Structure 1
Amino acid sequence: MKNKFALALLAAASLPMAAQAESSYVGAGIGAAEQVLAITEGTYKDKDVAFKLFTGFNFDKNFGVEAGYTDFGKAETGGKLSGSRARSFYAAGTATLPLGEKFAITAKLGLAKNRTKQLMVGEGDDKKKKTDALLGVGATFAVTKNIAAFVEYENYGTVAKGKNGSLKATILSTGMRFSF
């Protein structure tokens, strides 16, 4: 309940400011997601193609908010018949440190509402939901006044936790951001 309230409060606070068009943006990215499954039998790591869609608002040149969706793809742990599929909806505060007119370093801190589907041989599917902290760092390059390219690393924390183990997910992505 607290998570839903925090996300709703964040969204409501940013709505009146959306009228300042030059501070709003949308974007998309693609990259490599790594899922690490730690269970009693061992630790399994797998990578897959991930994508994300997001929107945000900058209060000024240094601070803003962002919300988005990330799909981590599928991680296989025991062949094609077992593994996990994970995705996340997130809301975060952003901080930007401009390094000249075209480059900037960015940071992100927020909450990620993670959903996973564990695919287990002979046991069926197990769906989990877990909220955890989202941490991200990256860099942007202004291609034009309204278009920026980015590279970003994000850690979504523990996306699933069960009685037999846990699943963590990270993503290294690149993409474009469009201001309007």
Structure 2
Amino acid sequence: MLKNKIILTGLMAVVMVSGSAFAQVAQVPQVYMGATVGKGQWNDDCKNVVSCSTNSDTYKVFGGYNIDKNFAVEASYFSLGTISANSSAGGVNATSQVKGKGFELAGLYKHEFTQQLSGFAKLGIASIKAEGSGSVAGVGVSNGSTTSTQPVFGLGATYQLTKELALRGEFETRKIKFNGDKEAVNNVSIGMQYSF
């Protein structure tokens, strides 16, 4: 009889703890989506060129799922923008451009500082396509692309404006591979996130 009471008490405790855990998960909106825009800095040394631009306009659309209040998984499509270079040899001008875009899957660890402000760290993997084009004296001479799988790291923060809508700021770094070269692209962005 005593053994049955102990088992029953144990089962009730498990049910109560489980119910509390499910209630906490239910309080966290599970699905979210959003978009950001920003600036990218490509780590290109610009050797042997007259001029070059290594800053680019970037954007990203993303969707995520909150596993609980501390962990989430997120998928995104992003554009790293375009960089360009100009060179001159024997009075002939040449230009070249490289642009990057890709898909990404990442895990997020989140920490709540206040009811409105949360921070997160992100680690994931991205499939990045780099596309290059060039011209000499205004005539197109080369096009090519390279697709590679690269890690992505990020740090960011969200600030709740309403229960569903949040402002999101983020710093990310990725590697991009093109013609055998691998360069880092650092990106700072800001945007909005909506939770369902």
TM-score bracket for the superposition, by shorter chain length: 0.7 to 0.9
* Counterpart secondary structure, 1:82: strand
- Give 1:171's aligned amino acid: N
How big is each residue's C-alpha offset from its partner over 1:123-162, in whole Å with a ceiling of 9 and x where there is no partner?
41110101110000011101111111011001112x1143
1:171 corresponds in structure 2 to 187
Q: Percent of pairs identical after alignment? A: 26
1:119 aligns with 2:133: yes
Number of matched residues? Answer: 159
Equivalences for residues 84-163 of structure 1 within 5 A: 84-122=98-136, 123-157=141-175, 159-163=176-180
1:7 corresponds in structure 2 to none
Separation in 2, partners of 1:77, 1:95: 38
How big is each residue's C-alpha offset from its partner over 1:91-121, in whole Å with a ceiling of 9 and x where there is no partner?
0000101001010111110001000111233
Q: CA deviation at 1:90?
A: 0.2
Q: CA deviation at 1:78?
A: 2.1
- Give 1:62's aligned amino acid: N
1:36 aligns with 2:36: no
Separation in 1, partners of 2:185, 2:53: 10
2:18 corresponds in structure 1 to none
Separation in 2, partners of 1:47, 1:38: 12
Superposition TM-score, scaled by structure 1 size: 0.80
Q: CA deviation at 1:38?
A: 4.9
2:75 corresponds in structure 1 to 67
- Mind listing any 5+ residue stretches in structure 2 that lack a counterpart? 1-25, 88-93
Separation in 2, partners of 1:177, 1:118: 32
What is the root-mean-square deviation in Å for CA atoms of aligned residues? Answer: 2.3
Separation in 1, partners of 2:129, 2:177: 7
Q: CA deviation at 1:39?
A: 7.4
- Give 1:64's aligned amino acid: A
- Give 1:142's aligned amino acid: Q
Choose 93-102 or 74-83, whichever is displaced more. Answer: 74-83
* Counterpart secondary structure, 2:29: helix
* Counterpart secondary structure, 2:43: strand
Superposition TM-score, scaled by structure 2 size: 0.74
How big is each residue's C-alpha offset from its partner over 1:33-92, in whole Å with a ceiling of 9 and x where there is no partner?
1222357748x6511211100000010110010000111111112279312111121000
Contact 2:153 2:174 in 1 (8 A): yes
2:54 corresponds in structure 1 to 46
* Counterpart secondary structure, 2:187: strand
- Mind listing any 5+ residue stretches in structure 1 that lack a counterpart? 1-19
